[in-house]
Amino acid sequence: MSLNLAKKEEWQSYVRLLKYCLPYKKRLAYAVMCMVLSAIFGIIPPWLIKNVVDDVLIQKKLYMLNVLCVGVVVLYILKAVFAYINLYLMTWVGQKVVIDIRLELYDHTQRLSLLTLYKKRSGEFLSRITNDVATLQNILGSVIVDFVVQGVTFVGIIGLLLFLNWKLTLATFTIIPVAVLVIDKAASKLRRVGSVIQERLAMVAAIAQEALSSIRIVRAFATEEEEYKRFEEESNLHFKALMKGTQVRGILEGFVEVILIAALALILWIGGRSVIAGSLTAGGLIAFCTYVGLLVQPVRVLSRVVSTIQQGVASADRVFEILDEANEVPLAEHPIVHPKMEGRVTFEDVRFSYDESKQVLRDINFEIRPGEKIAIVGPTGAGKSTIADLVMRFYDPQGGAIKIDGIDLRGLELKSYRRQIGVVPQDPVLMKGTLAYNICYGFKGATKDDMIRAAKMAGIYDFIASLPRGFDTEVGERGVTLSGGQRQRVAIARAVVRDPRILIMDEATSSLDALVEQQVQEAMRNAMEGRTAIVIAHRLSTIRDADRIFVLRDGLITESGTHDELVALHGHYYRLFTAGEHVEAE
């Protein structure tokens, strides 16, 4: 039962993969036609050899020798021409299909919820987008060519063998089913091995990507040797899986070849007796033996195709696993486009957890009025950044509702909504490119004046103006050429350049020194004027002038009010304030 289910799922993967060829079915049809013709022209020459023996060597017909020699050359010219055309067309179709799958996979990965993305290493996703899709290219290109060409060759040779001597063919093919049985048994093994190979390769890519993206930490803690050992161990595991697959393929191909040679020996023994008895011509026996010899190649190639397809299906399964991953933040069927928000944010009985073990937020209720500046404080892990992520709709709450201007966030069109929000994350990630590119990132309508105004608000303009290339200065990957404070200010400029209705600052000034922090705070106060602002902070000095402060503990808002009101309560906020400027005291 389980075997039949596995076979069914395997065929579903085949069919699903081939559906990607439908947009290119015309070229694919031409390619298949050329494959068939190439295969046909490849199996005719042994028949001519039969005539050479019977008509030329035995009956001494000299003119037939000329015709047959020219015929062989013409046949192979035609075979080469059609083989070239089918190779070109199949490569074209294969590459286009791979690009389509890769783009779809990349697009789908971009839209998956953060919960799904965080479950796997980014290197694993990268491996599926690159390595696994590249494996599919082999299936859709050379494997299909081999399957059709060698399949037609196999069928054509069998037909000619039956025509030459059906009794001898039946005797020969008492051995062939053994080869088919071996191929079938090896196929399931190859698929399992192929899956392990791709998983190990994904882990190799993940470890390399993780170490390289964290190179500063690796060097700071002098863990180069440990990271090298991790990479070496995973590389060796991939090597072992790869060699296991090679062993299975080698045994399969060798076993099949031995079976076919045994069949050839049987033919020589039975056929030789038939020639002596006069029931078969010498040319017929030579042609028969030649065809059986030619049969080795298509059977060997087809056995290799089976193993390659099994490994390819393992890659297809890994690709489809991502494509079938449901988005935990589903788009509304008829989304509401909210072109100009007021900026009213309402949380109604919101509950949220990353897993079932612990609720991060419990029954959160508050309303932020348009233009109001609120701050959220609390110990590490209290859920402060989670509230910001929920406002951005990176996640959906398990209970309650989040409303923007009275509209449930789940009903809004996400792109138009997010474009009206400015975000300054705690870790200011910059993209590889110029300062201008990073400041205007995601805001196609930005003008140079917008860019300069945003840079001044963030306190980064004077620094940029002092650079030889100004806004055209390259920042390097993840902004490595800038200091932490400079990256933070570029991130602030990137948030305010679009004139957002809602401004979210998650530790926006945490990387700045005291003097620059004061300058940026003044600039940010101006930037927040007339906008809804959500400030997440550990430094209480950054939020003292907030309209309201929410104190978050254990997933609940335990206190709320202005700075003076909360200090007067002598509660948790008061203890944080008197202990110093950092809430991480707990």
pTM over cut 0.75: no
If one compares 143 and 342, the residue with the highest pLDDT of the two is 342
Counting residues of the chain whose pLDDT is more than 70, the rounded percentage is 79
Is residue 3's pLDDT more than 60?
no
Question: What is the residue-averaged pLDDT of the chain?
Answer: 78
Is residue 23's pLDDT more than 70?
yes
Residue 200's closest CA among 154, 233, 167, 164? 233
Residue 237's closest CA among 201, 185, 189? 201
Q: What pLDDT sits at residue 402?
A: 92
437-443: average pLDDT:
85
What length does the chain have? Answer: 586
62-67: average pLDDT:
67
Sheet with 399-404, edge to edge strand ranges: 361-368, 345-352, 399-404, 407-408
Question: Structural domain boundaries of the chain?
Answer: 21-323, 427-499
Encoded tokens for 585: 């005291």
pLDDT tens readout for residues 205-227: 777 777 776 676 666 666 778 78
Q: What pLDDT sits at residue 349?
A: 92
Is residue 234's pLDDT more than 70?
yes
Q: Which residues sit opposite 376 in a β-bridge?
A: 536, 550
If one compares 586 and 506, the residue with the highest pLDDT of the two is 506
Is residue 450's pLDDT more than 60?
yes
- The CATH number of 21-323, from 1.10.150.20, 1.20.1560.10, 1.10.10.10, 3.30.210.10, is 1.20.1560.10
Q: What pLDDT sits at residue 348?
A: 92
Q: Which long-range contacts (CB under 8 A, 24 or more apart) does 230-234 make?
A: 231/204, 231/207, 234/200, 234/203, 234/204, 234/207
Is residue 496's pLDDT more than 80?
yes
Q: Classify 342 as helix, strand or coil.
A: coil
The DSSP secondary-structure symbol of 478 reads G
* Fold adopted by 427-499: Rossmann fold (3.40.50)
